[in-house]
Amino acid sequence: MISVRHLTFAYPLTSTASLWDVSFDVPAGQFCAVVGPNRAGKSTLCYALSGFIPHFYRGEISGEVVVADMVVAATPLAALVGKVGLVFQNPFNQITGARMTVRGEVAFGMENLGVPREDMLIRVNEALEMVGLSGLADRSPAQLSGGQQQRLALASVLVLRPQVLILDEPTSQLDPLGTREVFTVLARLVEAGGTTVILVEHKLEWVGAFADRVIALAGGQIIADAPPRDVLNSPEAAAAGVGQTRYTQAARRARESALSTAAGALPVTLEQAVRFFSSRSVDEHIA
Amino acid sequence: MNISLEHVSFNYPAGVQALSDVSLDIVAGESVAIIGENGAGKTTLARHLNGLLRPSSGRVLIGETDTRTLTVARLASRVGYVFQNPDDQLFERTVAAEVGFGPRNLGLPASDAKFAIQNALERVGLADEANSHPYDLHVSQRKLVALAAALAMTTPIVVLDEPTTGQDAEGVERLGQIVDSLKADHRTMITITHDIDFCAEHFERVVVMAAGRILVDGPAAHTLAQAAALAQAEVEPPQMIRLARALKLDASPLTVNEFIEVWRSNRTSTRSADS
């Protein structure tokens, strides 16, 4: 569904590339998380997958990005938006400000794609339901809290039913309940609808529990690309600034201080941590 | 400088009651985290501390003074406030000018202001960016500029609204160090946060809010172990408390270090019981 080949990109007037020779493929229906420190190139990658690079953000680009059988650089944004959706990091950048109600804002994209009115109404309600904003459909977008605006930005993209959904830290302003809801919605879209999800996220516990795969970026390059646990517990990724859950940190400390003889990979999630700390090795039983 | 909220209620003009009879006393030098779901009233409460909002009923005392008798500008010398979104706050052309805006307006002598700016930039790790345009920096750095701008005013009270949002692992660690160093300076730290692990690791006292009221208020280890109250506020305990609970350990470790100590003593006692 996504194929990135030797992608290098530098913004104008910068001396270093934001992405450097990045290559990867994502099959349809995969839930792929992208992690890494700030300025690793995560947002730039989101723009390159959704066509904002090179159609909106200019710069020096080489390599090729193909999404949903479209060569992104050769496909106008208007043709991309029906298939590829991007949820911006800052919801204030997503919301048009051209509509007076939440309902109108969610419908905005479909109006531009010429969706029949009856379908629009059904799809708007469905999208608002998914993000938990049904009760606020008639409120002005400007009167929403940061967390509510973030949900609105997500709804306005979900309503277009993109095959490929790209999200740049969509839960940064959400409480734990809101975060859980967003991850649950994404998992449902992947499982039921076969949507391909690319999610940039710092909340590693959630990434560990939900993603099929994790790509770690640092300094514009892919430094790891593997199942979540293999990336999130690796000392190399931690050294590159990816971070680690407290579960991983506690397990590593326990192992280093010989307080645990559990074999195998360090845990990333609570479930894995419970198994790690509950397991006793054979010689411990004998002792 | 102590803070006292006495039976504070607040209604937004549209009629929504965002705070209902909230009473809270914070002693000078305390570090307090306010947690709870979106819409619980956390930001509304915090905005009462610098006078951006005044109570509909009840009163807010900063030191001995009722906030209704002071302008926001006068309160600015007592309470530094760092907004959730730095772009709501930054407007100068250089980082140094931005950070210097507060001290200049407080009427500090030039040499004192210069010292305050330098000190604040060093604390947040942006001394090398003093001449940069704030909007040439990454948003996570702009957040630190906003923090430096508040710190440069050397207010006895600092309020941080969602400081860890958008920060990477290193940024969160740096923020934790900044909070710890401000605590060591006996400045009162108040934060609003969804980052429960950050809260557990750096704040002594935790206030849980839901629907405009305070549900629980007390030392972090006590408050963050109350699963039922936290669930009511849609908050989960920090990772180390959840792990301790799942392993049926009778303790509420707030940090990785505390968990390791709990695990060590538990292991020793089960071993001696086995033999």
Write out pLDDT tens, residues A193-223. Answer: 899 999 999 999 999 999 999 999 999 999 9
Do B69 and B163 lie in a common domain?
A: yes
Residue B241 has pLDDT above 90, yes or no: yes
The pLDDT value recorded for residue A146 is: 77
The closest of A120, A124, A46, A50 to A83, measured between CA atoms, is A50
Of residues A142 and A166, more confidence is placed in: A166
* Banded model confidence at residue B271, pLDDT cuts 50, 70, 90: low
Q: Do B138 and A243 touch (CB under 8 A)?
A: no
| Integer-rounded Cα radius of gyration of chain B | 20
- Determine the distance in angstroms separating the CA of B36 from the nearest CA of chain A, rounded to an integer: 8
Looking at this predicted complex, what is its ipTM? 0.88
Dist CA B91 CA B97 (whole Å): 9
DSSP B219-274: EHHHHTT-HHHHHHTT-PPPHHHHHHHHTT-S----SHHHHHHHHHHHHHHHHHHH
CATH number for the domain harbouring residue B165: 3.40.50.300
How many angstroms separate the CA atoms of A202 and B36, rounded? 20
Phi, psi of B141 (to 5 degrees): -75, -35
B140 in reach of chain A (CB within 8 A): yes
The pLDDT of residue B185 is above 80? yes
Say if the Cβ atoms of A173 and B165 lie within 8 Å: yes
A157-174 average pLDDT score: 92
Q: Do A172 and B166 touch (CB under 8 A)?
A: yes
In total, the C-beta contacts within 8 angstroms joining chain A to chain B are 104
Which pLDDT band holds residue A282 (cuts at 50, 70, 90)?
very low
Distance CA B205, CA B171 (A): 22
- Taking the Cβ of residue A248 and every Cβ of chain B, the question of whether any pair is shorter than 8 Å is answered with no
Local confidence band at B15 (pLDDT 50, 70, 90 cut-offs): confident
What is the average pLDDT score of chain B? 91
3-state SS, residue B210 = strand
Asked whether residue B177 is assigned to any structural domain, the reply reads no
A139 in contact with chain B, both atoms CB, cutoff 8 A: no
pLDDT at residue B272, rounded to an integer: 66
Task: Note whether residue B178 is domain-resident.
Answer: no
Contacts of A277 in chain B (CB under 8 A): 243, 247, 263
Q: Which helix (H) or strand (E) holds B196?
A: helix B196-202
- pLDDT score for B273: 62
Give the A window 54-113 contacts with B, CB below 8 Å: 89-90, 92
In this structure, how many other beta carbons lie within 10 angstroms of the beta carbon of residue A30?
Answer: 18
Residue A159 has pLDDT above 50, yes or no: yes
Q: Is the pLDDT score of A283 beyond 60?
A: no
% of chain B beyond a pLDDT of 70: 98
Instruction: Output the CA–CA distances (angstroms, integers) from residue B272 to A168, B123, B129, B265, B267, in the order listed.
Output: 51, 48, 57, 11, 9
Note whether B12 and B60 are same-domain residues.
yes
pLDDT of B274 over the 70 cut: no
In this complex, the residue of A37, A89, A253 whose CB is nearest that of residue B169 is A37
CB proximity B168 to A under 8 Å: yes
Give the pLDDT confidence of B249-261 residue by residue, as tens digits. Answer: 999 999 999 999 9
One domain, residues A85 and A199: yes
Asked whether residue B228 carries a pLDDT value surpassing 70, the answer given is yes
Range of the domain at A274: 245-287
**Per residue, what are the HEC states of A175-193?**
CHHHHHHHHHHHHHHHHHH
pLDDT for A30:
97
Give the SS3 label for residue B24. Answer: strand
B contact residues 170-199, partner A, Cβ 8 Å cutoff: 170-172, 194, 196-197
With 0-12 / 13-18 / 19 or more C-beta atoms within 10 angstroms meaning exposed / middle / buried, residue A245 is: buried
pLDDT digits (tens, 9 = 90+) for B71-112: 888 898 899 999 888 888 788 889 999 999 888 888 888 888
**B205, containing H or E segment:** strand B205-210
Residue A114 sits in a domain whose CATH number is 3.40.50.300
Are B261 and B131 part of one and the same domain? no
The count of domains in chain A is 2
Residues from chain B that touch A38, judged by Cβ atoms under 8 A, are 138, 140, 166-168, 171
**What are the pLDDT digits (tens) for B195-204?**
999 999 999 9
**pLDDT at residue number B275:** 52
H or E stretch at B179: helix B169-184
Q: Dihedral of CA A67/A115/A145/A177: which sign?
A: negative
In a domain, A240, yes or no: no
Contacts of A283 (CB under 8 A, 6+ apart): A261
A148 in the same domain as A91? yes
pLDDT at A285 exceeding the cut of 50 = no
* Confidence band of A98 (pLDDT split at 50, 70, 90): confident
Residue A255 Cα, gap to closest chain B Cα (Å): 10
Q: Look at the block and give the residue holding tokens 């391909």.
A: A196
Residue A165 lies in a domain: yes
Tell me the one-letter amino acid at B149.
Answer: A
